[in-house]
Amino acid sequence: MVDLELIHTLTGHQNPIYTLESNADAGVLYSAGNDRGVVEWDWETLKFRRILCTVPSSVYALYAIPDTDLLAIGMRSGDIFVVDTVQQVLKVKLKVEAGAVFCIKSLKAKQELIAVGEDGRAYIWSLNSFELLYTFKISDTTVRIIAIDAQEKCMAFGDKGGHIYLVQTEDYHQVAAKQVHEKSVTSLCFMADSLWSGGRDAQLYRFSYPGLEMQANIIPHMFTVYGIMELGDSPLFSTVSRDKTIKVWNKDLKLQKNVSRDKGVDSHYLSINTQAYNSRLGLLATAGDDKMIKVWKVSLD
């Protein structure tokens, strides 16, 4: 049996929250959105630590660069600020050519930082020098999401038109492209040797890769699926949605837990846009348009 117990609500944001990012090694949870600032919370005490930095635009993406103290902040303006979270200083300022930045990831083995956004292009910088190495076109429309498999061999991109694109990380050669969703792809996740995709059409798909052959399909929520996230080493994953619910599933797509205000839980009352998980503490954080961060204890009996 799976249980999600609400243990704390973090307040202080004055506007919708679009993104959460966990740095479990540092014991820190970051949040950002329309407030034009990045907030730092303590995972252990579940208390406000500080405003890490202010920024000139709404924040759509946060990414803690592994094995560093650096946090990459992607903005509506097209800027990416890379901030040293220990010294609390701006290390470098990057920028895409046009439009907003919606997602940031990295390849540890290649020491490369990847960002995508409104112009449908991928941008690759060196993590050593932060020099722009190359850029390539993925789509004619906005690309909102990136996922990378555990072996760092394959990267998936999802665009506003419902297409998924698979790219080899070795040389960024495209190996597959397929329209999957009727509307925008809003979440992607590699797990259980498959690629999982959620969209604005409220659909959830499971695909083989690199062939993108459909293995399963369900309608997990009433509206947009804004997050698909594996819950550590457990056989479970969670989804969040514009329908204001949090759901926990096993990888056979059997629903294990459904959390919402309709079920008498003090959950979110507006769209849930993002989630983050601390596997060491077994804590799931969710946030969205109601400006609050809810922290849940995940229990597996």
pLDDT at 75: 97
Does the domain at 2-300 match CATH 3.30.565.10? Answer given as: no
pLDDT of residue 79: 97
At 263, the pLDDT band (50, 70, 90 cuts) reads confident
3-state helix, strand, coil in the chain (%, to 5): 0, 60, 40
Q: Locate the DSSP E strands across 219-271.
A: 225-230, 236-241, 246-250, 255-259
Examine the pLDDT at 207 and tell me if it is beyond 80: yes
pLDDT confidence bin for 301, thresholds 50/70/90? low
pTM of the full structure: 0.96
What is the mean pLDDT of the segment spanning 110-139?
Answer: 96
Average pLDDT taken over every residue of the chain? 96
State the pLDDT at residue 1.
Answer: 80
Give the whole-number percent of the chain exceeding pLDDT 90: 94
> In terms of C-beta density within 10 A (0-12 exposed, 13-18 middle, 19 or more buried), how is residue 279 classed?
middle
Taking residues 31-55, what's their average pLDDT? Answer: 97
Paired residues of 230 in beta bridges: 237
- Check whether 231 has a pLDDT greater than 70: yes
CB 220 within 8 A of CB 249: yes
Residue count (the chain): 301
Would you list the domain boundaries of the chain? 2-300
pLDDT band at 240 (very low <50, low <70, confident <90, very high): very high
b vs e for 82-121, b when ≥16 Cβ sit within 10 Å of the residue's Cβ?
Answer: bbebeeeeebeebebeeebbbbbbbbeeeebbbbbbbbbb
| Residue 14, helix vs strand vs coil | coil
Mean pLDDT on 31-41: 96
Q: What are phi and psi of 25, to 5 degrees?
A: -60, -35
What is the arithmetic mean of pLDDT over 156-167? 98
Task: Find all residues with CB under 8 Å of 301, minimum gap 6, and list them.
Answer: 1, 2, 3
